[in-house]
Amino acid sequence: MFRGTQSLHEWARFDFFLILIALALVAYGLILIHSGSAVSGGSFTFSFQSPVVRQGIFAIGSVVVMILLSRIDYHALLHYAWWIYGLSIMSLVLLLIVGQTDFGSTRWFDLGIFQLQPSEFTKVSLILVLARFISNSGGDAKNLRTLLLTLFLTLPFLFLVFIQPDLGTSLIFISIWIGMVLVAGVTRRHLIILATFFIALIPFIWTFGVEDYQIERISVVLNAEEDPLDSGYNPIQAQIAIGSGGLLGKGLFEGEQTQLNFLKVPTKDFIFSVLGEELGFVGAILLLGLFLLLIWRGLRAAQFAGDTSGQLLAAGFVTMILFQVFINVSVNLGIFPVTGLPLPFVSAGGSSLLTLFVTLGILESIVIHHRAYRQN
């Protein structure tokens, strides 16, 4: 009887609004994926080969995982953070040995019916281990030793993903680290010292760590017309698509850039361009409004958290989603190099979608269980 009453109280604290926002984003994505894949997939069919059906199945499974995680006290996950961290590093090392290579990058395990991208899940792993380490080290990053150790914890992920190569996800790891140490109260002096050191390393990273095609993508941001048929092709077509959409767009399935296959990877990296062309400025503002609401509910979870670890977890997840949205939209607008990062909840991709709902499950756990830790 007591357990049933406790369960009802937990459900009463469940943030249904957060989930409704996420599901609205998924629905938005399903519509755009259908439009973006119609040129190659033809009319809609209930087949696993359909990207819409696959994304829908991944969404259902991800929601189930989210609900299960929300029932688990997030401190139980933090208890296993080091194990999860170690397994994540092993998965990235294994990926370099037996992973599938596409377009010069080794980012996926080919599991037959779908591809698994371990770097997506390592984002959650990094947030978990940083939250546990900082909370166990006094609850802040004001001490230089603590700050440096958090950076050292981030570097294995950063290096193993960067050499895949995957510059976009590497940037997300950096943003997660910056966001979490800022919330943990890093001093301005220490941050300036590390920033100066990083700036000094840029020439060496540029010379020895950046691939030729990545240099081309960076130069394309300055002048896409210098290589309009190769590295500049996708940015040019994306800008044409968004610019031609106007205020209200051309209508679903009516965008020339999308339907005539000028826009490449329209269901993943450049799905925002499909949105801009077919639903226009109003459609884009509605989508970004949903993201703002999602960020707000994530920050609300951080405020509700009864301890430092819960606040850091929520801050890490919010940072991860916020910067991924920023980078993806910036790529589509032609003001950031092409990175291959999906638009959260919207772009097609099972690994990304599952990871995002895992983060929502942990955010829900923070909201549900926060009172117990405020009372201690």
Minimal CA–CA distance to 95: which of 162, 155, 151, 177? 162
Buried b vs exposed e over 14-49: b needs ≥16 C-beta within 10 Å?
Answer: bbeebbebbebbbebbbbbbbbbbbeebeeeeeeee
pLDDT of amino acid 80: 95
**Higher per-residue pLDDT: 373 or 155:** 155
Minimal CA–CA distance to 70: which of 5, 12, 120, 133? 12
pLDDT of amino acid 229: 64
Lowest mean pLDDT among 26-35, 97-106, 345-354: 97-106
- In degrees and rounded to multiples of 5, residue 118 shows phi and psi of -65, -25
pLDDT of amino acid 376: 46
Give one DSSP letter per residue of 119-181, joined into a string. Answer: HHHHHHHHHHHHHHHHHHTTSS--SHHHHHHHHHHHHHHHHHHHTTT-HHHHHHHHHHHHHHH
Per residue in 281-336, pLDDT tens?
999 999 999 999 999 999 999 988 878 999 999 999 999 999 999 999 999 998 88
pLDDT of amino acid 45: 63
**pTM (whole model) above 0.85:** yes
Work out whether the CA dihedral 309, 79, 77, 343 comes out positive or negative.
positive
pLDDT of amino acid 116: 86
Mean pLDDT of 359-364: 96
pLDDT of amino acid 178: 93
pLDDT of amino acid 329: 95
**Residue 173 pLDDT more than 90?**
yes
pLDDT of amino acid 87: 96
d(CA 187, CA 322): 23
pLDDT of amino acid 48: 67
- Band (109; pLDDT cuts 50, 70, 90): confident
- For helices 16-41 and 271-304, angle between their N-to-C axes, nearest 10 degrees: 160
- Distances in Å between the Cα of 7 and the Cα atoms of 14, 19, 72, 109, 199 are 11, 19, 12, 38, 51
**Higher per-residue pLDDT: 112 or 185:** 185
Mean pLDDT of 344-365: 95
Lowest mean pLDDT among 170-174, 227-231, 372-376: 372-376
pLDDT of amino acid 4: 53
266, 36 in Cβ contact below 8 A? yes
- Band (191; pLDDT cuts 50, 70, 90): confident
252, 278 in Cβ contact below 8 A? yes
Contacts of 172 (CB under 8 A, 6+ apart): 123, 320, 323, 324, 327, 341
Give one DSSP letter per residue of 238-264, joined into a string. Answer: HHHHHHHHTTT-S-TT--HHHHTT-SS
Please return the burial class of 240, using the count of CB atoms within 10 Å of its CB with bins 0-12, 13-18 and 19+: middle
Per residue in 193-225, pLDDT tens?
888 888 887 777 766 666 666 666 666 666 666
pLDDT of amino acid 156: 94
pLDDT of amino acid 41: 44
Per residue in 43-100, pLDDT tens?
556 666 788 999 999 999 999 999 999 999 999 999 999 999 999 999 999 999 988 8
- Band (276; pLDDT cuts 50, 70, 90): very high
371, 306 in Cβ contact below 8 A? yes
91, 141 in Cβ contact below 8 A? no
Question: The tokens 């109260």 sit on which residue?
Answer: 185
d(CA 179, CA 181): 6
pLDDT of amino acid 187: 85
* Residue 194 host element (H or E): helix 188-208
Bridge partners, 115 (sequence order): 110
d(CA 333, CA 276): 10
Mean pLDDT of 182-190: 87
What percent of the chain stands above pLDDT 90? Answer: 52
pLDDT of amino acid 106: 81
Q: How many residues does this entry show for the chain?
A: 376
Going by the DSSP 8-state scheme, the letter that residue 270 receives in this structure is T
